[in-house]
Structures are given as structure tokens and as C-alpha cells.
Amino acid sequence: MTPVVCFASRYSVGATFLNWSYHWLAGHDTHWNHRTGTTAVPDNPNTGVNAHLFAKNFHAGNDLWHQHLAEYRALDQTQTVTFYGGSLKINDNTRIDVDFAAAFNTISSQIPVVLLVESNDDPWYFLKVRSQDPIDGNQSITPQEHESYQQQRLNNIIKSYFKDSFDAMDKNIWDIRELLALNFKHIAQRSSSYRSLLDLSKPHVYVDVKELWFDGESCMQRVLSQLGQPIQQDRLPQWRIAYQDWQASQFDIIKFGWYLPHIIESIVKGHNFDLAHVRMDLFCEAVIQGILIHDHNLNLKCYGLEKFPSNTLDLHQLLKKNTHTI
């Protein structure tokens, strides 16, 4: 029977990189992909946005976890086959939570499962979506491709939450930013209630994503040790290069969360703080404006504001009393 390992994660927080790291550090040059068969393991899986140059086996939901587990076990393979066990892609969080927990609780009784959980200390991490794949086999995701992807994501959010409001408004960037700001809690909201449904008495390897973010090498040493898989030491130097690339792609939005309280305080009090090193997009800008409205009863004079100022002192000059209800 072919050995199988599952890398499970309710949310997209780095399981692809974790999955790639397993194969690379185990010394595997190829792995089994259910669509393409024997597939190369790249020496660096990073695209600039995520680690999706690694062609993982991704299966969403309990039924597909079990279906493909049976398929992999029936293969005539001596090398371990891995898959990323994800959650259903539907608009029903309660059903998603129940289904994910059912998948974990049953699969972990059959094969080794590495459970990667999101950080409760970084609520704004999900402002940035990393599910984008390279186009036409490209080795990276171009800024233009990422901008197009983010625009589609913006359109989907508006359709999901704010369609009636959006249909009745002008489509200027400052109006869209304010609409998002008035509903800013929805943009990155994620529930961790699924965790109460997990049977953690089942055998598994538990990984808090913060360990992977900040102490990746020791994290991988622990994971592979618990899986009984020796690390090929000659693979570590290249893994460290790839890890630094992947880590950098996480830190832009993590850094935004770190600095957000200081950004808000500096805007309200009129302090000088340069925002150039905090890489922000429209969603980050909307969160800043939303917190000003919700927590400080202040808003920005945003009519015609196409480009967000890069200094909190300039934003302070745009403050006005809030006239919206949030």
C-alpha cells in the first residue's frame, strides 16, 4: 500500500509551501500528481505571491479527501504521496467547518496528517489572498496579473456583500474605498470556530502558522521528525533560499497588521509616520478608513482621493467628522 501524508488547512496560510518543503527536504526530485503523474519537485516553488510553482495535489472537502486517499493508496509507489486537504469552496461557513472537521477526524485515523492552523493574532492577514496560480507555466506572477486578480477579487467581494449599494453608487476609486471602509470588518473576517469540532485526540502533527512564518527551519525539522522522515542535509541550503523568498511574500501584510495601531494613532494625532515601507493596497486603505470611522468618529475627505497619501501627517490633514453610521 502506497504511503500517504495529508497537509490539512482550513484556510490558505502556507500549506503549499509546507507540502513542498516536505518533498524537498526528504530529497525527492519528483512526486506523484493525480493529474500529471510523476512531476518534478522545483528547487524553489515561489511565484512572488505564493508557493504555487509546486504542483500539489489539492482536494477540497471531505468527499474528495477520501476519494483521492483511496486512489493514492492503490498506487504502486514506494515514495510517499502527499496531498493538501483543503475546505469546501462554498458560501456557507457552518457547512464548511463541519465538513472540514469531519475530513480531519476521519482521515487522521488512517494516515499521518499535518494540521496547519491560522494565526489568531494577525486578523488582517487575510486582506491578501494567495490562491492565485501562475499563468501558462510562468515562473512568477507578474504585477499586472496580480493586479487583475485582485481586481476580480474586489468585484467578487462587492457582489457578495454590497451589490445593492454598489449598483447605486458611482464607480470612482474613492467611493469604492469608502464603501469597503464602511464594511471593513467583512473584508478579512475569518472564524476559528471549526477548531472546536476537531478531534485533536487523533494522531496528527499540529503547526501554528506563526512557527512556520518565523522559525521555519526548526518547524520543518519538527514536522519531518514526527513523520519519521529524515532530512537530507544537502537540501537545506537551497531550502533556506526558498524559505526567505516565501517568508518575504508573507511579511508585507503581516507588517501592515503590526503597524496598524501606530498608523491610526499617528493619523488621529497628526504625527509624522512614513507609510512607504508598509505595502498597502485598496483593502488596507479601506481598513484604515474604516477604523477611523468606527473607533474615532472620523472620516477622510476622500472625494477625488485616487492615490492614498504615503504619510500619516498628510492623512491627518484630510480628517473630518464622520457623518456615516457604521
**Per-residue pLDDT tens over the stretch 163-209:** 666 666 666 888 888 888 988 887 778 888 999 999 999 999 999 99
Same-domain status, 180 and 199: no
Same-domain status, 62 and 155: no
Q: What is the pLDDT of residue 69?
A: 97
Range of the domain at 196: 4-123+191-231
The pTM of the full predicted model, rounded to 2 decimals, is 0.88
Same-domain status, 275 and 227: no
Q: Stretch 71-96: mean pLDDT, rounded?
A: 94
Same-domain status, 316 and 203: no
Same-domain status, 160 and 209: no
Same-domain status, 65 and 160: no
Q: Is residue 131 situated within a structural domain? A: no
Q: How far is CA 194 from CA 117, 224, 236, 310, in A?
A: 11, 26, 35, 38
Q: Is residue 175 situated within a structural domain? A: yes
Same-domain status, 178 and 220: no
Q: Say which CATH number the domain at 116 has.
A: 3.40.50
**Long-range CB contacts for residues 172-180, cutoff 8 Å, separation at least 24:** 173/282, 173/305, 173/306, 174/302, 174/303, 174/304, 174/305, 174/306, 176/282, 177/282, 177/285, 177/286, 177/289, 177/302, 177/305, 178/286, 178/289, 178/299, 178/302, 180/282, 180/283, 180/286, 180/290
Structural domain count of the chain: 2
Q: Is residue 240 situated within a structural domain? A: no
Q: What is the pLDDT of residue 281?
A: 86
Q: Between residues 97 and 135, which one has the greater pLDDT?
A: 97
pLDDT digits (tens, 9 = 90+) for 260-287: 999 999 999 999 999 988 888 888 999 9
Same-domain status, 45 and 114: yes
DSSP strand pairing (205-208 vs 113-117): parallel
Q: What is the pLDDT of residue 279?
A: 83
Same-domain status, 61 and 117: yes
Q: Stretch 230-251: mean pLDDT, rounded?
A: 95
| pLDDT-based confidence at residue 246 (cuts at 50, 70, 90) | very high
Q: Is residue 162 situated within a structural domain? A: yes
HSE, side-chain direction, 13 A CA sphere, residue 105: 12
Q: Is residue 130 situated within a structural domain? A: no
Same-domain status, 64 and 170: no
CB 198 within 8 A of CB 134: no
Cell numbers describing residue 189: 473576517
Q: Is residue 203 situated within a structural domain? A: yes
Q: Is residue 101 situated within a structural domain? A: yes
Q: Is residue 326 situated within a structural domain? A: no
Q: What is the pLDDT of residue 325?
A: 63
Same-domain status, 83 and 41: yes
Answer left, alpha or beta for residue 170, where phi above 0 means left and psi between -120 and 50 means alpha. Answer: beta
Same-domain status, 317 and 172: yes
Percent of the chain with pLDDT over 90: 64
